[in-house]
Amino acid sequence: MLGERLGRVVDFFSITLLLKTLFAPFRQISAEKSHTAPVQDRVRMFGDRLISRFIGALMRLFLIIAGVVVLAFLSIWSVLVLIFHVFRPVILVGCVVLFFVGWTPAEAWPEVFGWVKNVKF
C-alpha cells in the first residue's frame, strides 16, 4: 500500500515529464512563428516566446520542487509507519505489562505529567 501511495504521488506530479518539458512554452497564445512578418513583429514574437518559456520553466520548477518535497515527506512517513507496523505487537505487549505493573507516565516524568495528579475523576 505504501508503494502504491508513492506511485500515485509520482504519477500526480510527473516529475520526469516536467523535467523533459522544462523549457517548453507556457500557454503560448499569441506567440506564433512567422518568417514573412516584419522585423519589428518578429522581435516581438521572439520576446513573447522567450517570456512564455521563462514562465513555463518557473512554473515547472516550482512543481518539481513541490513534488520532491512531498515525495521526501511521504517517504519518511512511510518508513515510520512501516517501523511502527513491525513493532506494533511488541508495543501492545509492553503496554499491557506496564498496565499490570502499575507504571504511569506521571510517575516517570512528573515535570511533564504532574498536572495529572490534580485531576479528580
pLDDT in tens, 2-50: 888 888 888 888 888 888 887 777 666 555 666 777 888 888 888 888 8
Sorted by where each begins, the domain ranges of the chain are 2-118
Q: Compute the residue count for the chain.
A: 121
Is the Cβ–Cβ distance between 28 and 49 less than 8 Å?
A: yes
CB atoms within 10 A of CB 60: 21
The whole model's pTM is what?
Answer: 0.64
List Cβ neighbours of 23 (8 Å cut-off, separation of 6 or more): 53, 56, 57
State the DSSP H helix or E strand holding residue 43, giving kind and residue range, or none if neither.
helix 39-101
Q: For 51-95, how does the pLDDT look when each residue is reduced to its tens digit (9 = 90+)? A: 888 888 888 899 999 999 999 999 999 999 999 999 999 999 999
Q: Which residue's entry shows cell 508503494?
A: 3
